[in-house]
Amino acid sequence: MISDETAYRRYLDGEPKAADLLVEKYGDALTLYINGYLKDIHEAEDLMIEAFSRIFAKERPITGTGSFKAYLYKTARNLAFRYKKKHRLGFVHFDELDFEPRSDMLADTELYRSERSRQLYDALEKLKAEYREALYLVYFEDMSYRNAATVMKKSEEQITKLVYRGKQRLKAILEQEGFTYADD
């Protein structure tokens, strides 16, 4: 399998099928990520398409972001912020945004079907928005701390702290709700 950056370079070199690989790989997950902001799956799909369109239309090498995936998610995040601001006619407060797809959006996925996963998603919804987004990007999207920092416009050190504190808070929430660990 070729890397994202190689696929993007191939697209820039005139191979349109390379763009299809990237859309196939990230389209659904990116839509769910955007939907965490908007709570409107149809608008999220539109913004996912717009995020890819903007990247493909620019046709310039991705630099300073760490990876194609980080650049894509950062673009989508910015589009979601603009959309929210435009449709609210006011300032978008960071704590009001919900970054994790709601539990009912994940009902059809294999992961969500187990009781443990349901407990995890319910607990994630109770986290502070910044913790939830950092954990989502690092653990659900498999981004490095550097790439998550790029997406969230924070330093790696800030992401490290958000992930650490988020995991500590998540553990406390799960324990309060009687979550039992597999190793027990």
By C-alpha distance, which of 171, 114, 166 is closest to 136?
166
**Could you give the dihedral angle defined by the CA atoms of residues 16, 51, 29 and 106, in that order, rounded to the nearest 10 degrees?**
-140
Amino acid at 3: S
Query: How many CB atoms within 10 Å of residue 75?
Result: 21
**Could you give the dihedral angle defined by the CA atoms of residues 139, 144, 149 and 151, in that order, rounded to the nearest 10 degrees?**
-70
pLDDT digit of tens for each residue in the chain (184 aa)? 788 888 888 888 888 898 899 999 999 999 988 888 888 899 999 999 999 998 888 766 665 556 888 889 999 999 998 888 887 634 444 444 455 555 454 444 444 445 666 777 778 888 898 998 898 889 888 889 999 999 999 999 999 999 999 999 988 988 888 766 555 4
